[in-house]
Chain A
Amino acid sequence: MKGNYVTIDLALVIEKLVLIIAVTFLVWVAARMIAMADRKWLHPSPGTGVKDISESLFGATPRLLVKAAAVLMLVVSIMISTVIPWGEAVRIGSRNVSLFIARVDIGVLLILAFLWLGIYGGIAQRWSYVKNDRIGALFRFGSLFIACALAMGLAIVPLLMLAASTDLQNIISLQKDAVWNIFYQLPGFLIMLLGTAVLSKPSFTNDGRRIAGAGFGSVNAMYNLTGYVLLFLMGTFITALYLGGYEIPFVSDLALRRRFGVNVLFILQGISFSFKIIMVVAILLWTRRVLERYDESILIRWGWKLIIPAALINLAGTAVVLVA
């Protein structure tokens, strides 16, 4: 307890916690409002397959667990935002304020870990909402999730080899006024898009019928909103990895900074970053909508037989090119 711990500023910790709790609370409020609107203006349709309570593993009341899983998924998704750098710096008064919540040298791994934890939310969700063939649904979900998460992990590794860093700030600054990573790593970019589109979808199809996320109530709304939070934040992550993050294309950021100062550059970078994120999120939404049409088993087959080998070949090829 004495010398071998890093001292952490208490104010800093509290600030981060307040920020995360505030955002989580806002999404929760939105979920409640959606649920209220559902109750007021919509009638629950039959055949959504909800309200089946299993007493085998969860005990008598899995409702609490489902809610806990929804909150867990939401918090974990929002935690992704803590390591994404949103801009270079902004000058307030006489000091430069950096625009990320936590700069950790393992930002990429952190995001992957948080993404991976979403599997528990999915398991709890399927366990409580799927009525027949529950084991099949659980295993299909697990298979699909692992295929996507594994492919995404394998797709990021060549990028980390190129950047020689797992710090997102470093990866962005390497692309600054240089060639974006997408031109080196197009297969990785596509795999990330596909994986995010599948993972951020709160409801996979099951027996030709939507399961959770299609019903009503605040938990379902929360699952849907979590899907959108994840979609947006992963879109930001992909932008930072492959599209240069907040870097402004075609002009030199350094020259702009010298000419106009930090704050003007911050605004310009914000516009650039927002534009890129909107583009990526639009592509993601479109991909997600298209993938919804396919059966889960087809997606699993593609994931294991096509995407993961492609990611492996990409990894091996990049390694050979880097060494040779």
Chain B
Amino acid sequence: MGATFILFWILSTLAFAAAMGILVSKKELYSVLSFIVLVFAISGHFILMNAQFLAIVNILVVAGALGVMFLYGLILVRSHRDSEQVKILYMRIAGVIASLLLLIVLTAAVSKASQNEVVLRPGTWIGHVDKIGEELFSRFFVPFVISGLLLLSVLVGTVVIIINREPAPDPKSVTL
């Protein structure tokens, strides 16, 4: 239990610090970097719970692809408006309401969660890639395919939206 216990607390502290960093940091870029640290800490928790595949996919998709997308989005947004912060009152109120709703949903979900403990011994294959592949292609086949179709339609839609636009302003004329 020793090492697991220590790792659990290290990872939890790291995750909490990173989550605070997302909220507190003034520069958006540091928020994105804190987000990546948070993803790593959560992946560490996944590994502790023997879900290696989930941990790596978390790093690959969320920290890799999603974080990069955030970063490039920020760069583009930043290059098109002034660096002063936009603070609108009703946006803040909407943010507070949305956060409270999320908090309620999360609390309800956690309180309803089953208390059954899954005992993992060396040699069990729960959370390993073979097992997840089997489940994805048997029990969860339809949701899997539907989510794939959804992503494909998003891709096609993006291409349709941008294909007939006038060319973007010359990047050299944009000043940061």
Interface residues of B (CB under 8 A from A): 1-8, 26-30, 33, 36, 48-50, 52-53, 56-57, 59-60, 63-65, 67-68, 71-72, 74-76, 78-79, 83, 117-120, 122, 128-130, 171-172, 174, 176
Of B57, B68, B74, B176, the contact of A119 (CB 8 Å cutoff): B68
Please name the residue on chain B nearest to A110 by beta carbon: B56
From 200 to 253 in chain A, residues with beta carbon under 8 angstroms from any chain B beta carbon are none
List 16 contacting pairs A-B, 8 Å CB cutoff, sorted by A.
Answer: A3-B119, A5-B48, A6-B49, A8-B4, A10-B3, A56-B83, A59-B26, A105-B128, A119-B68, A120-B68, A120-B71, A123-B71, A133-B171, A135-B79, A142-B68, A166-B129
A4 and B56 contacting across the interface, CB-CB below 8 Å: no
Tell me which residues across on chain B come within 8 A of A120, comparing CB atoms. 33, 36, 67-68, 71
Please name the residue on chain B nearest to A153 by beta carbon: B60
Please name the residue on chain A nearest to B40 by beta carbon: A117
Is A286 close to B, CB under 8 A? no
A7 and B56 contacting across the interface, CB-CB below 8 Å: no
Besides A5-B4, A57-B75, 16 other A-B contacts (C-beta < 8 A): A1-B5, A3-B120, A4-B118, A10-B2, A13-B3, A57-B74, A59-B26, A59-B30, A105-B52, A105-B128, A106-B53, A109-B56, A110-B56, A116-B65, A135-B79, A135-B176
Is A25 close to B, CB under 8 A? no
A3 and B72 contacting across the interface, CB-CB below 8 Å: no
Is A2 close to B, CB under 8 A? yes
Is A272 close to B, CB under 8 A? no
Q: What are the 7 closest A-B residue pairs judged by CB atoms, nearest first?
A: A10-B3, A116-B64, A136-B171, A113-B60, A57-B29, A3-B117, A3-B119
Of B27, B118, B128, the contact of A3 (CB 8 Å cutoff): B118
Is A50 close to B, CB under 8 A? no
How far is it, in angstroms, between the C-alpha of A280 and the C-alpha of B126 when the chains are bound?
37
Tell me which residues across on chain A come within 8 A of B8, comparing CB atoms. 1, 5
Is A112 close to B, CB under 8 A? yes
| Binary per-residue interface labels of chain A (86-122) against chain B in the complex, 1 for a CB within 8 Å, 0 otherwise | 0000000000000000001110011011001101100
B4 and A6 contacting across the interface, CB-CB below 8 Å: yes
B28 and A109 contacting across the interface, CB-CB below 8 Å: no
B3 and A106 contacting across the interface, CB-CB below 8 Å: no
- A322 CB to closest chain B CB, in angstroms? 15
B72 and A57 contacting across the interface, CB-CB below 8 Å: no
Of A4, A117, A139, the contact of B49 (CB 8 Å cutoff): A4
Of A10, A109, A146, the contact of B57 (CB 8 Å cutoff): A109
A13 and B176 contacting across the interface, CB-CB below 8 Å: no
Interface residues of A (CB under 8 A from B): 1-10, 13, 54, 56-59, 65, 104-106, 109-110, 112-113, 116-117, 119-120, 123, 132-136, 138-139, 142, 146, 166
- A34 CB to closest chain B CB, in angstroms? 27
B29 and A138 contacting across the interface, CB-CB below 8 Å: no
B117 and A135 contacting across the interface, CB-CB below 8 Å: no
A59 and B7 contacting across the interface, CB-CB below 8 Å: no
Given contacts A8-B7, A56-B83, A56-B176, whether A135 and B171 have CB atoms under 8 Å apart is yes
Given contacts A5-B49, A8-B7, whether A135 and B27 have CB atoms under 8 Å apart is no
Tell me which residues across on chain B come within 8 A of A119, comparing CB atoms. 64, 68
Tell me which residues across on chain B come within 8 A of A65, comparing CB atoms. 33
How far is it, in angstroms, between the C-alpha of A58 and the C-alpha of B33 when the chains are bound?
11
Please name the residue on chain A nearest to B122 by beta carbon: A6
How far is it, in angstroms, between the C-alpha of A177 and the C-alpha of B8 when the chains are bound?
43
How far is it, in angstroms, between the C-alpha of A66 and the C-alpha of B30 when the chains are bound?
13
B4 and A56 contacting across the interface, CB-CB below 8 Å: no
Of A9, A59, A106, A136, the contact of B56 (CB 8 Å cutoff): A106
A57 and B78 contacting across the interface, CB-CB below 8 Å: yes
Tell me which residues across on chain B come within 8 A of A142, comparing CB atoms. 68, 72
Please name the residue on chain A nearest to B47 by beta carbon: A6
Please name the residue on chain A nearest to B121 by beta carbon: A6
B129 and A106 contacting across the interface, CB-CB below 8 Å: yes
Tell me which residues across on chain A come within 8 A of B28, comparing CB atoms. 57
How far is it, in angstroms, between the C-alpha of A110 and the C-alpha of B46 when the chains are bound?
14
B64 and A117 contacting across the interface, CB-CB below 8 Å: yes
B75 and A138 contacting across the interface, CB-CB below 8 Å: yes
How far is it, in angstroms, between the C-alpha of A134 and the C-alpha of B68 when the chains are bound?
16
